[in-house]
Amino acid sequence: MSKPTKQIHLAAHFPGVNNTTVWSDPQSGSHIGFASFKEFAQTAERGKLDFLFLAEGLRLREQRGQIYDLDVVGRPDTFAILSALSAVTDRLGLAGTINSTFNEPYDVARQFASLDHLSGGRAAWNVVTSWDAFTGENFRRGGYLPADQRYERARLFLETTLELLDSWRDDDVVADAESGQFLARPDAGEFARHDSQFDIHGRFNVPRSPQGRPVIFQAGDSDEGRGFAAAQADAIFSRHSEYDAGRTFYADVKSRLAKFGRSRDDLLILPAATFVIGDTDADAEERAAVVRRQQVSGATAINFLEQVWNRDLSAYDPEGPLPDVDPDTGEHTIARGRASVRRHEDPIELARTWRERAQAEGLSIRDLVIEVSGRHSFVGSARTIADAIDRHVQDDASDGFILVPHITPGGLGGFVDEVVPLLQEKGVFRTDYTGATLRENLGLPTLSDDEGAARAS
Amino acid sequence: MSTSSTTHLALALDGTGWHPGSWRDPSARADELFTARYWTDLVLLAERGTLDLVTIEDGLALQADDGLHHDPRTDRVRGRLDAVHVANHVGALTSRIGLVPLAITTHTEPFHISKAIATLDYVTSGRAGVQVRIGGRRDESAHFGRRELGDWSDLDADGQRSFANALFDETDDYVEVLRRLWDSWEDNAEIRDAATGRFVDRDRLHYIDFEGEHFSVRGPSITPRPPQGQPVVAALGHDERPWQLIGTSADVGFVTPKDDAAEALPTIRAAQQRAGREDDVRVLGDVLVVLDEDATRAAERLAHLNDLAGSPLESDALIYVGGVPGLADLIESWSAAGLSGARLRPAVNTVDLPHIVDGLVPELRRRGLFRSAYDGRTLRDHLGLARPANRYAA
Ligand SMILES: Cc1cc2nc3c(=O)[nH]c(=O)nc-3n(C[C@H](O)[C@H](O)[C@H](O)COP(=O)(O)O)c2cc1C
């Protein structure tokens, strides 16, 4: 029996504060002005994309004790910008990354419920667990949560938030002027939650929103992160946009669902993906090489290397050979506030491989960093890209992609105008929104208020 | 620009209006309270009236008839949308009017509120403000579970006062943090210097290093300095301590004069001076209005609303029941006494707001007391307030 053709899900990531963004390009616009967000969102909606996605950072990043100044710095408040965008779009989902450490469930629940009301059911929440004390210095709560507690708090935070959202039923607001009855029952919104993280009770004060709850995204990659997603999330924002890694990740996460009584269709896997479109494949390759050099300046390359070496490498020439000193394996202090700084399992070994490779291929520091710090997920003509995306999805390397253009806000236009029509021609991407809510457009099962309450408990 | 000589008008929005029976008025649209359309329509109407700003009430507990304890009533408006979200949504659809959502200082993070209001300022190109309010209800703290607050009803008058004072002290700190965070980026910090590869000049970004009794915040903000430099901070005050807060921390104060229009002014001005603030503070008198063609119709309306609510209207603010000329007289007398204008609380939004826009506004214009068109772009422009210099800029 042949597998039915899968429908592809596509979303747009407003470029954030990292070196995938090419701010030095003359076409690069504001990362803060509302006009940029509006143009980007309306382009995504023109392409019938599922949703717009925003990352989060709550402390300016530092390197060597100073504010990191080589990438885009600064972003607006996630909730505020999504509420504003709900006014200038009709169908596009609005997904915000909101962490579970520097917030409280009552506040987050009422903000997502409000966003869902204002957008007519288009809110989504990417639950992240960033926990470092460095970021905590900006908050009352302070910030240190031991690593083994952050997913515990995230899990309980999410459960608590859903319990608050489920404390109102669909028909609790009667608003019958004739009879004088506004609420259906005196205890609408009542909740109580007592666990290791939260000891709260009372009445939630936003009535049930169109989706009942936001669509839930998860982004963590660790075993706990994957388990958390399998148990709780509607979609995963993953790093694994490459075919083989994507298939492995996909198989792993989807196989975890049964344990939680969920079907494979209940959780979408959506990797972040960058792209460079050209008139021909060769043209695109050339452009991609130019973009990579724009993304990795000499100074950026040194900074990147410092994150692995965990030491000051500012004396090195980016056009010269790799440092022959070994990484400092002590406490990682060189770069702070970066979600992307992974604890490299064995930095000494990593440095050794990189040195060998650079020597063998005659690569400078900058060349090497361009080679290893990631590449574009899709490079080619619009046709090539459409075929590759379709292949990834049909072969279960993903259920679609969250597109990260490198130019703000215009970088999505080419994809929408050139690639989307080809996917529509293939019959693997919608020609119009199928539902009113994001949940419907994502093809996720809808939850009645009773099911919602049952799942939260 | 001499807007300071004109009267400033603000509109206060809360649910379907400030009369508890308002939602039962046939025009009230109570079933649309949780839709974007409802709020957008009201603010667009206020913008047609060239009002300075709209405030949007909020709270971290369900509304209560006594304002303090949750109650089991099902015959009143209960539930609301987050005011900051409403303001951002409406901000994208309006072009001139100021938007001032309410934020509770006792339970929220100043870092989050600072960037949300800065973002509102970007969304509206400089029309953002925030009204800060303490959250003293016990059920509010139970919703957060992070601090035990006592209950007003357990306290005598002195106890209530010192309880509130502590929360106001914290609010002073909170506003200080908001303002430092807004200043933590200099206006021209984004340099995009391709030659050196630097996106920002980090010498123009500043740690704010705030240390207070209840919280500390390191900074800088993640959101660059907003268009107004500092969005407008507003606060409501009924008593000495909140009046001091207005003087030390706010750009706009809402007060509730009953007999003596100027009662709050000496305290506010003294606090302003002690805090070394040369900038102006606009003080608007709050008035709940039941406005109609004439006094008789207005009185009839009030009686009917009282019937619908099952009890006579009470308010912390003066209640004006009557026609347009009388309300214009009141506002004129307040101006003469030194207030900068009025914040109007419509009894029923869908009835009283049209009377404000189509009756009161033209009347005040005839008297030369109110603008005939917006002559500035930002909320600070409307209020005649200067764009503040950045405290950190060299
Ligand atoms: C693709 C991707 C995007 C992420 N985006 C953010 C973000 O915007 N903000 C944030 O604070 N953390 C972000 N994270 C961090 C994760 O939420 C999580 O906290 C982190 O990966 C550590 O968890 P883990 O060990 O399970 O990976 C992201 C992670 C991934 C994989």
Q: What percent of chain B has pLDDT over 70?
A: 98
Cα–Cα distances (Å) from B195 to B164, B222, B327, in that order, read 55, 24, 62
Burial class of residue B212, CB neighbours in 10 A (0-12, 13-18, 19+): middle
pLDDT band at B4 (very low <50, low <70, confident <90, very high): very low
Find residue A125's DSSP bridge partners.
A96, A216
A2, A370, A69: which is closest to B197 by C-alpha? Answer: A69
Complex ipTM more than 0.85, yes or no:
yes
Angle between helices A78-85 and B110-123 (to 10 degrees): 30
How close A281 gets to chain B, by Cα (Å)? 29
Protein residue closest via CA to atom 17 of ligand 1:
A128
Q: How many Cβ pairs within 8 Å bridge chains A and B?
A: 230
Each residue of A329-377: pLDDT tens digit?
888 888 887 755 555 678 999 999 999 999 999 999 999 999 998 778 9
CA angle B46, B52, B55 (to 5 degrees): 70
Burial class of residue A146, CB neighbours in 10 A (0-12, 13-18, 19+): exposed
DSSP strands (E only) in A101-172: 123-128
A97 annotated ligand-binding residue: yes
| Interval between CA A404 and ligand 1 midpoint (Å) | 16
Rounded to whole angstroms, how far apart are CA atoms B123 and B128? Answer: 9
Rounded to whole angstroms, how far apart are CA atoms B382 and B385? Answer: 8
How close B329 gets to chain A, by Cα (Å)? 34
Contacts with B, A 143-182, CB within 8 Å: 168, 173, 175, 177, 180-182
CB contact under 8 A, B142 and A104: no
Rounded to whole angstroms, how far apart are CA atoms A266 and A259? Answer: 13
* pTM for this prediction: 0.96
Rounded to whole angstroms, how far apart are CA atoms A439 and A227? Answer: 22
Biggest distance spanned by C-alpha atoms of chain B:
73
Each residue of A397-441: pLDDT tens digit?
999 999 999 999 999 999 999 999 999 999 999 999 999 999 999
Q: What is the DSSP letter of A32?
A: S
Each residue of B296-352: pLDDT tens digit?
999 999 999 999 999 999 999 999 999 999 999 999 999 999 999 999 999 999 999
Using the predicted structure, report yes or no on whether residue B160 has a pLDDT greater than 80.
yes
Residue A337's pLDDT is what? 79
Query: Does residue B167 contact residue B239 with C-beta atoms inside 8 Å?
Result: no
| Interval between CA A220 and ligand 1 midpoint (Å) | 5
Q: For an interface test with A, give the residue of B19, B27, B33, B89 to mutate (most A CBs within 10 A).
A: B89
Instruction: Report cis status (omega within 30 of 0) of the bond before B224.
Output: no
Using the predicted structure, report yes or no on whether residue B192 has a pLDDT greater than 50.
yes
Residue A452's pLDDT is what? 52
Q: β-strands B232-237, B129-133: how paired? A: parallel
Asked whether the CA dihedral A434, A439, A444, A448 is positive or negative, the reply is: negative
A9-280+379-456 placed in CATH 3.20.20.30: yes
Which run of H or of E encompasses B99? strand B98-104
Query: Does residue A355 contact residue A327 with C-beta atoms inside 8 Å?
Result: no
> Helices (H) and strands (E) in chain A — how many of each?
16, 17
How close B115 gets to chain A, by Cα (Å)? 5
Residue A341's pLDDT is what? 55
Say which residues have a Cβ less than 8 Å from residue A131's Cβ, sequence separation at least 6.
A101, A143, A144, A145, A147, A150
Please report where in the chains the tokens 């779009």 appear, as a residue: A89
Q: Which of B143, B192, B220 sits opposite A200 (nearest CB)?
A: B143
Which run of H or of E encompasses B343? strand B341-346
In the predicted model, residues of chain A with pLDDT beneath 70 are 1-2, 143, 339-344, 448-457
Contacts with B, A 39-58, CB within 8 Å: 57-58
A154, A122, A124: which is closest to A229 by C-alpha? Answer: A154
Say which residues have a Cβ less than 8 Å from residue A441's Cβ, sequence separation at least 6.
A50, A91, A93, A433, A434, A435
Q: Which atom of ligand 1 is nearest to the CA of A224?
A: 26
* Phi, then psi, of B98 in degrees rounded to 5: -75, 145
Sequence ranges of the domains in chain A: 9-280+379-456, 297-372
Report residue A289 as tokens. Answer: 């090489």
Instruction: Report cis status (omega within 30 of 0) of the bond before A409.
Output: yes
Chain-centroid distance of CA B194 in Å reads 42
Whole-number mean pLDDT of chain B?
Answer: 95
Query: Does residue A201 contact residue A193 with C-beta atoms inside 8 Å?
Result: yes
Query: Does residue B317 contact residue B347 with C-beta atoms inside 8 Å?
Result: no
Using the predicted structure, report yes or no on whether residue B2 has a pLDDT greater than 50.
no
Query: Does residue A160 contact residue A190 with C-beta atoms inside 8 Å?
Result: no
Q: Which atom of ligand 1 is nearest to the CA of A150?
A: 19
Using the predicted structure, report yes or no on whether residue B153 has a pLDDT greater than 80.
no
Protein residue closest via CA to atom 8 of ligand 1:
A55
Residue A141's pLDDT is what? 74
